[in-house]
Structure 1
Amino acid sequence: MTAALEVAENAARLADLNPSSAVSAASEAARSARREGDNAAASIAERAWGHSLVQCGELATAIRHLRRAVDHGLAADSAELVSEARIRLAYALILRGKPELALGEIDGALNGIQGDALMRIRAQRGAILVEIGRLDEALADLDRALPYLRRIDDRVGVARALVNRGIVHGWLHDFAAAVRDLRESGQVSRALGRGLAVGIVEQNLGFVAALRGHVPAALDHLATAERTIAEHGGQLAAVLQDHGELLLSVGLTSEAREFAERAIVACQREQRRLKIPELRLLLAQIAFLDSDWQRCLEQADLALRGFSRQRRAAWTALARLARYRAKLALGQGERISSVLVEDMVGTLAGSGWPAAEVEARVVAARVSFLRGRPDQGGEQLRQAARARGRGPAAIRARGWFAEARLREENDDPRGAAVAARAGLRVLDEHAAALGATDLRVHSAAHRVELSELGLRTAIRAGRPAGVLEWAERGRANRLLHRPVLPAEDPVLAGLLARLRSVSAEISLGRPSPAHRQLTLERQIRDHCRLHPPQSGGPAVEPVRPNRLGTALGERALAEFVQWDGILHALTLVDRRLRLRPLGPVSLIAESTERLLFALHRLARKGPAQPAAAALLADTARRLDDLLLGPLPELDRRPLVLVPTGLLHSMPWSVLPSCLGRPVTVSPSATLWCAASSAPVRPARTVLVAAGPDLPGARDEALAVAAIHGCTPLVDGTATVDGVLAALADAEVAHLATHGSLNTDNPLFSSLRLADGPLIAYDLERLPRVPHTVILACCDGGRSVVRTGDELLGLSTTFMSRSATRLIASVMPIPDAETAPLMIALHRGMATGRPAPVALAEAQQEMRDRSLADLAAAAGFVSIGGD
């Protein structure tokens, strides 16, 4: 072996281990080979140079070097060197978004090659076919190549082929085979010291776990992959893409969008044009889940043009599917070509992507029904419904949705409801396995169409009991599960302590980069997703009217339901269930926003207060007429109200018919029934705490503590650890602090204490909390409303940890004015008055005192049970 050839071979080995370091070694090897006129060495060096640049994201330059490697191989009259160079060139071309040219290079490399080299080329051809979605052909090539690669002990080739075959098995939902191939590839790569390849294996294990619906495992694999690939100078676009798709699968659209956009930037920087249409398609799917139909259509069109240019038939069909879903949502179904829909279904049915096929058939059915072709639509639904018995949870649930739609079209509403329930059971079991609170809440997005189908059939049938069942199935499902906490988690405790330290520095005006807080929040969120509590048991069935009527006794229940732009009310009084339409949701939402505006203005002392009071009175009367006026059976009974949408932020006490009336608000009737049935522990231990920088909070805490005969935590004693320890032992808690609702990340909503914020994640660590909690702070009772009326925030976190009664404000309040209300409330509770009764009496007393006291008291509601 010549000296130049030896240097070139060393550069080729380094290119596979550490591509960023190999570039300089390969360039020196190429110069040395040219000086000595050694074409064989020059071909190897240029191939190593190009291969290194591919992994470093410099595709255009890489392609030039790989073409030179081909030319030098031809000059050396070596078919093997030409083929090796063409293999690398083909891979660079596929990443560049030129699949036809890539396949041309591979087919050219196959010409005139026999024996072992032929199998290496077939393995690379399989890898290219994987990238463009021709899975059956890819599997055939890889199956043929692997025995030969094993026989000649080409361990690098075996590891690469196993990764690609694992990906194919994953797409085809043969998960056991996929994991087996990927794990073997990882073992081989570790033995060879190929760290970058190990990172790629971890990425694809995450991809397979995501397809299976194993979200925490997928997150773990992807986090490891991102760290390992970055350490070895690899490119992260594919990991970012997989992470975005995973987050989309559980409805975390804002985070999924962030990853997709980062991946597009990375692809553009790395010149990986092949993946950009895939990421446009991901953005379209994110927009669809966000109900942003126009953006979905725009991104789907961009993806469609990109896939068409790349001649990727299956991916083109996927982009058409996203486009048609957006058009149907926009009411433009009549503009969809039936011929193109049939072509889309046919392509995806043969793609080996079962989820895409099911969704395509559901869309095709809708188009057929719109065009008056029920037989065609029914056949598409029958084909889609076959998926209900196999595959991951999301596919099985979608199959049940197709079955429910088929039964609905066949005038079988009872059968449609049975199928929809079966689909929801599949999703509820899957959601319980997710563990982490935010994952479970956002996964509710996938329940919506099934819940709406059941609700639609019940409303059309005019069956109040059916409407109650489906209204309950469609809301606040997470709060019915009591997760079982793991052992003490020192990692989480340490992260939370560091976050408090940084927050305290920022609040004191000390220099502390904002990114430190964001980084710690992300680490806490990711840790909780990877180490979630275990599920607390099977899904809870909606409460039945008879049991609910018994629990209500003399109370009256009103549950609000939105359907087809109309707000309906279910009432249950004296065991009689009624259903009435109330009016357009838009009109009620407009009046609710006007009411909240009036209360905000009233809270500001000044000359505008009388005008704000007049606006408040007028709007409250109008809303009362819209919401409760059409429900005379409610009479003057104590009320249990189950809101929906914007009504979760309604300050009910300002409505004339609620003045002085005990009102309990609950996220669901099922939750209220469970909370009201729970045994109430005697209020032997009361926790009272006051946070810093809140005028009047210390005096309020002292006055409330005096009523109960306890010692309050004030000043330096009101620390996070002190309050958490007291919460775990108390039956009643009163917390007078600054409150903050984080609308982007609700589990970072907080209460400010002496040493920093107590956040919702802190509460999730507690084995139990008091049965009654009073949050005398801004926004303590306000939650972020997610799809399916799932709620996230401080109040719902208390309820998920076993609090059954919570009194808090659903809007910002003038903090300094709350003391009179809180003192009156606690005096009433101390005499044995139920919390809703004591709150109603205290609010009426405040209303009679002054406008300022009215504004301070109006936002408080009693949430949970009675």
Structure 2
Amino acid sequence: MTEPPATGVPEDAAALHIEARRLANAGDLTGAENLLNRARQCAASMDDLGRIEGTLAYIEVERGQVSEGLARCEAALERVGRGTMAHALLAGQLGTIQFVRGETVPAITLFTRALEVLTGEERSNILLNRGAAYMSVAAYEKARRDFEEGARGPNVIAAAQNAHNLGYLHLLRGQLVAALRWMDRARPELAGLGLSVTATLDIDRSEVLDAAGLRGEAVALLRDVAARLRGSGLWRLQADVDLHLARQLGNEEALEAAERAVRLNRQHGNAVDADEARAVVLLARCRSTRPPTAHSLERLADRLEQAGRRHTAAALRMRAAGLRGTSPRLPGEEEPLTVRLLAGEVAAEVALRAGDTDAALSAASAAIDELDRWQRGIGSLELQSVSRRLGARVIRLGQQAALLSGDAQHLLTWSERARELVARVPATRPPEELADLLADLRRLGPDGDPAERLQLVTQIRQGRWLAAAELPADAPVTVQAVRERSAGARAGRYVTLMEIEGRLIALTLGDREDILDLGAWGEMDQLLGGLSADLTMAAQLAAPVVRAALQERIEGLDKILARALQGAGSLTITAPAVMARMPWGQLPSTVGVPVTVPTSASAWLRQTDAGPIRSVGVVVGPGTRTGSAEADLVRQGWHTVTVGERCDDAQTLASDVDLLHVSAHGQDREAHPLFASLQLADGDLFGHDVELFGRVPPVVILSACGAAGGSLGMARAWLHAGARSVVAAPADIAETAALDRFGQLHGLLARGSSPAEAVANAFGGEALDCAVQCYGAG
């Protein structure tokens, strides 16, 4: 939350005061103090003197001289009459000091007294502070009214600060997209202000990033703020950064940061925020092998509740209930999403310890329903995907309870709950203005100025975050629906794989129905560790030793998975994200078997039967050894084919054809998957570009290195945009080896094979150097 700065050129007492506040906001407390002492000498009115004394008091508090600051403010307040401008200004400043000390209720009283007199910019500033105080005690409606009035004020800076805090209020209410919009709207007016303001903006933005699930970026931003604050003397902001780091890191470093926040707040007389930081320490220890006592949690909760910090107090009481073996109270609608998820987590843990799987499933389901409702307002594929982290612990508990129940329907439901948090597709398109930013990024190219490239990437990602959408409400996936869909294929089998409590678990439905424990997850994890590198080496080097190493790894994977896969006439497989680069079609157990890899069973069931392929397009990028030859082979298979080479050609063809084949070099972007790209004649075609297409073909074939891109690469972008099936490789491919196989693929498709059938026959167990898979509906 922000505090009011000011700017100006020093000329008289008022101008000196304005410049002093600018220096204070920039972190130059000594310079500000010098100017204020000069201003005291030439103050011409009690109003000017009240402003000067109030700011001097605030500087003393920022330096840790809390008693001196309070005494100065109180003494000045006694010298002026109530109802005067000077009294109102000093009451507002004294309220600010008390709020900083954690004394929220008396601070609100003083802010209210000041607002009886203040108008204009100074009223907006006090509305900002009172709204922040209301927000800290969860009086959200009162805070909203203050911020909205302040945002309509005459001063641009004060209005922007109130708008920023409106964004923070939306964040606390779980309205992530609205939070981003308000904060982004306010930032241009505030970004040029001093360190104390910009640091606060970034601390608040880190909370938005963390709420979205982008914890790594949130932590990186906080570390940057901490570096900027080092040596500034702004202890309150330094403590705030440490508190946020403690909440977001979740390791030993988090505990160290929390203890620093405890010390800083205690040293400067802020017992309430010291207790907030202490709560982070105790809540983290609740998940350790040496948790705190329930009594210690309840004592701290009592103190925080008395100070108005009821959300933190509620979290502590929930954990205390769990330690006592009782279910926590049900949280109210006004509680933050994190508190509501914690209630489900604790209740599920208590039920599992008591052996009550039904109660555990019910508690976990109610918590994930909360996350699901929150997620429906997000149109960004990236934010949907990473937001799964928020419910990861509850998902694990739900899956554990489902496995213990021995019920296939429960296990399928919890497999889907995990996948649908990241795979559900919103009925929305990104903002159109992103097309211009993507064009700029394309013109800049991979070798362009790194700073400019980073700025464009950031603008595109954040613009995409703001695309709100109403997500479809799917009916729960049933075992019977999966069974019936599998029966439509030859001896079809649906297999979903999960890691539950350190074990690899498979649920099989269709021609064979079973719950299988395939062994310790660690063995699978070890084999997956070098898989991507082995696939890449096999594509780049034809040496027998390289192929043998990959073959040995694949046989090891197959040995683990064989019981779930063997004997099926066709396979539909969903698996954890860490298995996204699996070459399913190259496993000994699946040779010659059509394999489909959908994002989820829900997405697979939503797809209707494929229609006939009547029109085909090819886009060939520059620098490929076999691109032209591939285009010729496609022509041989289909006779009438339209060929292009530019990004515009890709968009035009995508809107017209039933099948689009792209032969180009591909670039994966693990950190930001929708920046996975295909290199065409006029630059990169990004995953973000694909989402802007008005229509995409039912079938897309990507002859490109690494185009599947793990769980969020180019294949995912095409599927997200509406493609029914995407044929792509999860790693590099050997272009020459792939050439004939793509020719076979098109011949099979032209004769009526489904994409999954065509891939099984054209790319089988021998295609280790071009392990193409079928993603989507098959």
* Residue 208 (1) aligns with residue 169 (2): yes
Q: Tell me, in whole angstroms, the C-alpha distance in 2 between the residues paired with 1:112 and 1:409.
A: 64
Corresponding position of 2:395: 451
Q: Give 1:474's aligned residue.
A: 418
Once residues 242 and 308 of structure 2 are traced to their aligned partners in structure 1, the CA distance between those partners, rounded to angstroms, is 21
Asked if structure 1 preserves the Cα contact closer than 8 Å seen for 2:27 and 2:194, the reply is: no
Equivalent pair of 1:318/1:348 in contact (CA under 8 Å):
yes
Q: Say which of 527, 551, 555 aligns to 1:621.
A: 555
State how 1:191-590 maps to structure 2 within 5 Å.
194-231=155-192, 235-268=197-230, 271-288=233-250, 293-329=251-287, 331-334=288-291, 336=292, 340-366=296-322, 368=323, 373-374=324-325, 378=326, 381-383=327-329, 385=330, 387-405=331-349, 407-408=351-352, 412-485=356-429, 490-503=432-445, 506=446, 512-530=448-466, 532=467, 534-538=469-473, 540-553=474-487, 554-574=491-511, 577-590=513-526
Equivalent position to 1:129, from 90, 98, 101: 98
Task: Specify the SS of the correspondent of 2:609.
Answer: coil
After TM superposition, give the deviation of residue 210 of structure 1 in Å: 1.7
Partners of 2:533 and 2:432 in 1: how far apart?
A: 44
Q: CA deviation at 1:623?
A: 1.9
Per-residue deviation, 1:620: 2.3
Stretch moving more, 431-440 or 418-427: 418-427
Aligned in 2, Cα 1:445/1:327: closer, same or farther, shift over 3 Å?
same
Preserved CA contact (<8 Å) 1:694 1:816:
no
CA shift digits 1:263-293 (9 cap, x unpaired): 22343475422111111222222223xxxx2
1 CA distance for matches of 2:19 and 2:333? 50
The answer to whether the aligner puts 1:118 opposite 2:87 as a matched pair is: yes
Deviation at 1:198, TM superposition (A): 2.4
Residue identity matched to 2:414: W
Instruction: Say whether the 8 Å CA contact 1:123–1:161 is kept in structure 2.
Output: yes
Please, which moves more after superposition, 138-147 or 753-762?
138-147
Q: What is the match of residue 38 of structure 1?
A: none
Distance of 1:253 and 1:222 partners within structure 2: 18
Distance in 2 (alpha carbons) for counterparts of 1:440 and 1:598? 31
Q: Deviations over 1:531-579 (max 9, x none)?
A: x1532432x24411011101101211221111111111111133x6321
Counterpart in the other structure of 2:580: 648
Corresponding position of 1:165: 130
Say whether 1:63 aligns with 2:37: no
Contact 1:63 1:93 (C-alpha < 8 Å) held by counterparts: no
SS in 2 for 1:813: coil
Do the aligned partners of 1:397 and 1:427 also contact (CA within 8 Å) in 2?
A: yes
Q: CA shift at 1:476, angstroms?
A: 4.0
Counterpart position of 1:679 = 609
More helix per residue = 1
Return the match for 1:862 from 770, 774, 777. 774
Distance 1:57 1:613, change over 3 A: same
Q: Quick check: 1:664 aligned with 2:596?
A: yes
Cα distance 1:564–1:478, how it changes in 2: closer, same or farther (>3 A)? Answer: closer
| Paired residue secondary structure (1:221) | helix
The separation in 1 between residues aligned to 2:480 and 2:191, in whole angstroms, is 60
| 2:423–2:600 contact (8 Å) kept in structure 1 | no
Superposed CA RMSD in Å reads 2.8
Alignment partner of 1:755 out of 682, 689, 693: 682
Q: CA deviation at 1:215?
A: 2.1
Kindly state the Cα deviation for residue 651 of structure 1 after the two structures are TM-superposed.
1.0
CA distance in 1 between counterparts of 2:602 and 2:714 reads 20
Rate the CA distance shift 1:624–1:232 in 2: closer, same or farther, 3 A: closer
TM-score after normalising by structure 1: 0.83
**Counterpart selection for 2:713 from 790, 793, 805:** 793
Distance change (3 Å), C-alpha of 1:86 and 1:647: same
Choose which of 805, 814, 823 in structure 1 pairs with 2:743: 823
* Contact 1:83 1:109 (C-alpha < 8 Å) held by counterparts: yes
What residue number does 1:776 align with?
703
Could you tell me how far apart the structure 1 residues matched to 2:523 and 2:183 are?
46
Q: Mind listing any 5+ residue stretches in structure 1 that lack a counterpart? A: 1-15, 30-40, 784-790, 848-853
Whether contact under 8 Å (2:582, 2:730) holds in the other structure is yes
In structure 2, give the amino acid aligned to 1:453: L
One-letter amino acid of the structure 2 residue matched with residue 863 of structure 1:
Y
Overall identity of the aligned pairs, in %: 25
Match of 1:5? none
Cα shift at 1:691: 0.7
1-structure distance, mates of 2:101, 2:386: 31
Matches of 2:319 and 2:33, distance apart in 1: 41
Distance 1:218 1:585 in 2: 39
Q: Return the alpha-carbon distance in structure 1 between the equivalents of residues 34 and 333 of structure 2.
A: 51
Distance 1:833 1:455 in 2: 37
In structure 2, the partner of 1:13 is none
Instruction: Give the counterpart letter for 1:499 in structure 2.
Output: L
Q: Give structure 2 stretches of 5+ with no counterpart.
A: none
Which of 576, 587, 593 does residue 529 from structure 2 map onto?
593
**Displacement of 1:233:** 6.5
Structure exhibiting the larger radius of gyration computed from Cα positions: 1
Q: Is 1:50 paired with 2:12?
A: no
Alignment CA distance shift 1:60-1:564 (3 Å)? farther
* Farther off after superposition, 357-366 or 467-476: 357-366
